[in-house]
Amino acid sequence: MLPVLRPGDWLVVRRGARVRPGDLVVARLPADPAQMIVKRAAWRDGDGWWLESENQRAPGRRDSWDFGAVPASLLVGRVVLRYWPPRGTPRPR
């Protein structure tokens, strides 16, 4: 199964949108809030949202299996659209 996102994809994110299990979300990394991550919201528990990587076998993946539930205050928003950059914009390799 291929990941939903590929390097170079651009995202439209609705800030503060209601999140449901199965949604792709942008969140701040708990250990380094300056860094943002895109993960799938798996479920909500008392401590926050459990976020999982689309590709569990990817080297260096970081998700709730590494850092636990993410507090709702660290969720930036829900991904509502993925699109490719305009022609002429170099894509990362």
Q: Could you give the count of Cα atoms lying within 13 Å of 64 in the half-sphere of its Cβ?
A: 20
CATH of 10-83, one of 1.20.1250.20, 2.10.109.10, 3.60.20.10, 3.40.50.300: 2.10.109.10
pLDDT attached to residue 61: 67
Burial of 69 by CB count in 10 Å (0-12 exposed, 13-18 middle, 19+ buried)? middle
The DSSP output letter for 70 is B
Tell me, yes or no, if the pTM score tops 0.85. no
* pLDDT tens-digit series, residues 22-57: 999 999 999 999 999 999 999 999 889 999 988 777
**Closest listed residue to residue 75, CA positions, set 17, 21, 34:** 17
pLDDT attached to residue 92: 62
* pLDDT tens-digit series, residues 68-80: 999 999 999 999 9
**Closest listed residue to residue 80, CA positions, set 20, 12, 28:** 12
Q: Examine the pLDDT at 1 and tell me if it is beyond 50.
A: no
